[in-house]
Amino acid sequence: MTQYWFLPAALIVAAIAVSIPLSQYAAWIMEGQYRPLPVFGWIEEKLDSGPQDWKQYTAALLIFNLLLFVWGYVVLALQPIMPLNPRGLGMLAPTTIFNSVASFMTNTNLQHYSGDVHFSNFSQIFFTIANQYISAAVGFCALAAIIRAFRGEKKVGNFFVDMWRVLIYMFVPAAILSGVLFIQQGMPMTFQSTVQVNTVEPGAMGTDDKGEAKQQTLVVGPVAAVIPIKQIGTNGGGFFGANSAHPYENPSAWTNFITCLDMMIFPFTLVLMFGRMLRKMRHSIVIYGVMLTLMVGMIAWAIHYELEPNPGLTAHPTSVTYKIPSATAKGGFREIQVPSVGGLPVDQHLGNLEGKELRFGTVAGPTFAALTTAITCGAVDCAHDSLNPLTGLSPMVGMWLNCVFGGKGVGMINLLLFLIIGVFIAGQMVGRSPEYLGRKVGAREVKLAVIALLVHPLMILGPTGLFAATDWGTRAEFNPAAHGFSEITYEFTSASANNGSGFEGLGDTWGFNANPNPAPESRPWDIAAGLVMMFSRYLPIVAPIAMAAFLGMKKEAPYGLGTMRDDTMTFYFLLLGTIVILGALLFLPVAALGPLADHLGPMPFGG
């Protein structure tokens, strides 16, 4: 049994161990206490447009993202005429470009295309890599601004300087270190686009006219430049369509471990950085504990259910009868018969191996799935669509809550929303009007928190309902019934959580604009998911910054016996309870219609 739990346990221990010193370093950098190297110092000086208040900071952030949108659109639209395109790849469908640009700008990296098929190396470098560094830093900067606002500072920093600090002093060094390790493990790093190889089994790719065995064409490129920041920046947009299940994107067990660790380190670190910068270490440890509890729970849940056999392959040898109420039927009930099904002769003692990268085994897939969704990374190393129905619940819950470490910065920000609402409601039970960080939480703050919190369910449930009831959904899903519903739900969940992982099992790829046979409903999916990503990105960043600014403007009262402590076990349970109950209230019905119905019903994976 220990073999199953070693990987997740080692990952969590390693992430905790790294996050403690790294948080000190991150706080040191974000406080600007370092002495920059001469050239860097000069650039930093040029970037520094002076201290900004929260409105200026937010404006800078939004304008910067707008420019990022334009940049992304131009790069992708011009792919056919840009260099580094020896394969002569054409232009993607406009809706796909819109979706991809929205996706990478918002740190989502939902991919309605396949990186190795549709992107030239130019697009990979100037679109994928550029966005992965920059969009990842945006959330980080937003958190830094929120922390400074919480401290009561009128000027919450300078967006451009913050961006520079995050990129140069944190992401780049970490990415270089990971990249070197990846290259050593065999990850490609080249400007070449393809290589021709002889297959191990001659003729595996067929024979040409002369009867000679065809060579296989393998796509390569600057993979080792994409993958580190893909993980460290919790982006998740793979170089290859198969993402981290691809042998070039994840060559060995070691890279799998580092890949997982890379996505964990900054989200773990930022919680502690929050505490260090606010001088409230114990408070941030309580938050850290809540997140860790939920994360361990989700990983354990995923692994537990994935070690069960795949219900789609097992038999239920007798037919089952269900009674359903029906006014027209005799006796008020209609009976439905689900016929017996013979199992397939598959050895399932290792659990559900369907859709797994066999090099990594049964456990690595659900571990990765739970991590990549709790943290809004979205890289995958197994097919989430093929996870057992209840296992698939774990990644969905991770994205529904979206604050179990979450993305860099934004995860912590999302947690603050739950926290403010929990403090506002339950905090009054100490007999004082609610306070956070010694400041009274009033109507304005709580309004902003609720607005930010409300976007997420609206953007998931609204479109899911719309697509589930129309051809847009039913014609796109690969599996019918509850599993198909999960596919639709997952896609919008991933988009709204800015996660980017795909359950898949959806026809949502148009491909090149010239594609004669695109997936029929891919256009609505491109547009809807693109809009969801943008709404769910910016409102939950801007509203919390404003909330923190308004809260910070209030007088800070000292802690006393009568004030609620935010660094105790009681607060731990308060926060945990708030997240679990609110999360359940928002998403229990879709969980029932999707994964639970899939699991409980007689037709797993749609029968």
Partner 1 sequence: MEALKTTQTSDPNVPPPLSVPPRRSRAQALFAPELVRPALREAFVMLRPDVQWRNPVMFVVEAGAALTFLFIIQAALGMSSSQLSTGYFIALDAWLWATVLFANFATALAEARGRAQAESLRAARQDTPAWRLKGQDIVEQVLSSDLRRGDRVVVEAGQIIPGDGEIIEGIASVDESAITGESAPVIREAGGDRSGVTGGTRVLSDRIVVKITAATGESFLDRMIALVEGAVRQRTPNEIALSLVLSAFTLIFLIVVVPLWPMALNAEVYMQSYLGIAEPLKSLGTDVPTLVALLVCLIPTTIGALLAAIGIAGMDRALQANIIAKSGKAVETAGDVDTVLLDKTGTITMGNRHATEFAPIGNHTALELGRLAAMASIADDTPEGKTIVKLYYDRGGKPGDLTIPKGTEFIPFSAQTRMSGIDLPDGTVIRKGAPDAVLKFVKTQPGSAPVELQKTIDSIASQGATPLLVAEGRTIAGVVVLSDILKAGISERLERLRKMGVRSVMITGDNPLTAATIAKKAGVDDFVAECTPESKLAYIRREQAEGKLVAMVGDGTNDAPALAQADVGLAMNSGTQAAKEAGNMVDLDSNPTKLLEVVEIGKQLLMTRGALTTFSIANDVAKYFAIVPALFAGTLPWLNAMNIMHLHSPTSAILSAVIFNAIIIPLLIPIALRGVQYRPLGADALLRRNLLVWGVGGVLLPFFGIKLIDMMMVAGRMVA
Site for partner 1 in 566-605 (CB under 8 A): 568, 570-571, 573-574, 577, 581, 584-586, 588-590, 592-593, 596-597, 600-603
Residues 303-362 interacting with partner 1 (rule: CB under 8 A): 322-328, 332, 336
Piece of 249-257, 281-289, 305-313, 563-571 that binds partner 1 (CB under 8 A): 563-571
Strand boundaries in 228-367, DSSP class E: 320-325, 333-338
Token pair 């304008």 is at which residue? 63
Q: Indicate the residue type of 230.
A: K
**Separation CA 583–CA 579 (nearest Å):** 6
Q: How far apart are CA 204 and CA 213, in angstroms?
A: 8
Nearer to partner 1, 254 or 322 (CB): 322
Coil/strand/helix, residue 92? strand
Q: Which one of residues 181, 531, 565, 572 is an interface residue with partner 1 (CB under 8 A)?
A: 565
561 near partner 1, judged by CB under 8 A: yes
Shortest Cβ 312–partner 1 spacing (Å): 16
CA 470 to chain centre: 27
The residue (of 17 and 557) whose beta carbon lies closer to partner 1 is 557
CA distance linking residue 180 with residue 182, whole number of Å:
5
CB 463 within 8 A of CB 559: no
Q: Which is nearer to partner 1, 115 or 434 (CB)?
A: 434
3-class state of residue 51 by DSSP: coil
Stretch that binds partner 1, among 42-50, 171-179, 237-245, 561-569 (CB under 8 A): 561-569
Q: Which is nearer to partner 1, 4 or 490 (CB)?
A: 490
Sites for partner 1 among residues 96-125 (CB under 8 A)? none
Q: What gap in Å lies between CA 25 and CA 532, rounded to an integer?
A: 35
Nearest residue to 231 (alpha-carbon basis) of 29, 73, 15? 15
| 63 vs 592 by CB, closer to partner 1 | 592
User: Rounded to the nearest whole angstrom, what is the least distance from the CB of residue 579 to partner 1 in the complex?
Assistant: 13
Give the DSSP H or E segment for 22. Answer: helix 2-30
562 forms part of the interface with partner 1 (CB under 8 A): yes
Per CB under 8 A, 400 contacts partner 1: no
Can you tell me which of 458, 519, 527, 531 binds partner 1, judged by CB under 8 A? 458
Q: Determine the interface stretch with partner 1 among 49-57, 348-356, 461-469, 507-515 (rule: CB under 8 A).
A: 461-469
By CB under 8 A, tell whether 268 contacts partner 1: no
The single residue among 124, 464, 494, 501 that binds partner 1, judged by CB under 8 A, is 464
- Asked whether 135 and 94 are in contact (CB, 8 A), the reply is no
Q: Residue from 60, 89, 225, 564 that binds partner 1 (CB under 8 A)?
A: 564
236: nearest Cα among 351, 106, 339: 106
Name which position in 297, 355, 465, 507 contacts partner 1 (CB under 8 A): 465
Among residues 173 and 589, whose Cβ is nearest to partner 1? 589
Provide, rounded to whole angstroms, the least separation between the CB of residue 548 and partner 1.
17
541-560: contacts with partner 1 (CB under 8 A): 555-558, 560
Give, as ranges, the residues between 472 and 501 that touch partner 1 (CB under 8 A).
473-474, 480-482, 484-485
Ranges of beta strands (E only) in 143-260 are 194-197, 216-219
Q: Which residues touch 255 (CB under 8 Å, ≥6 apart)?
A: 181, 182, 185, 187
Q: Nearer to partner 1 by C-beta: 227 or 420?
A: 420
CB of 512 to partner 1, least distance (A): 32
- Which of the residues 415 through 454 are near partner 1 (CB under 8 A)? 421, 424-434, 438, 440-443, 446-447, 450-451, 453-454
- The whole-angstrom distance between residue 211's C-alpha and the CA centroid of its chain comes to 47
Q: What is the size of the binding site for partner 1 (CB under 8 A)?
A: 81
Smallest distance from partner 1 to CB 143, Å: 24
Q: Is 203 in the site for partner 1 (CB under 8 A)?
A: no
Q: What is the CA radius of gyration of the chain?
A: 25
3-state secondary structure of 439: strand
Least distance from C-beta 75 to partner 1, angstroms?
A: 36
What are the residue ranges of helices labelled H in 307-409? 361-374, 389-401
Judged by beta carbon, residue 6 or residue 573, the one nearer partner 1 is 573
Smaller CB separation from partner 1, 297 or 457:
457
Kindly identify the residues of this chain, within the stretch 230-249, that bind partner 1 according to CB under 8 A: none
Name which of 202 and 332 has its Cβ closer to partner 1.
332
User: For residues 17-36, which are near partner 1 according to CB under 8 A?
Assistant: none
* Helices 443-469 + 481-496 axis angle, to 10: 140
Distance CA 457, CA 580 (A): 15
CB 598 to partner 1: min, Å: 10
User: Is the CB of residue 598 less than 8 Å from the CB of residue 388?
Assistant: no
Closest to partner 1 by CB, 60 vs 413, is 413
Looking at beta carbons only, is 61 or 582 nearer to partner 1? 582
Token pair for 148: 């400074």
Phi, psi for residue 315 in degrees, rounded to 5: -95, 150
SS3 323: strand
Residue among 170 and 574 whose Cβ is closer to partner 1: 574
Distance in Å, CB of 539 to partner 1, minimum: 14
Q: Is 350 helix (H, G, I), strand (E, B) or coil?
A: coil
Per the document, the length of the chain is 607
Count Cβ neighbours within 10 Å for each residue of 127-140 and write b for 16 or more, e otherwise.
bbbbbbbbbbbbbb
Q: Rank residues 99 and 479 by Cβ distance to partner 1 and give the closer one.
A: 479
Which residues on adjacent β-strands are paired with residue 582? none
21 burial type by CB count under 10 A (0-12 exposed, 13-18 middle, 19+ buried) = exposed
CB of 578 to partner 1, least distance (A): 9
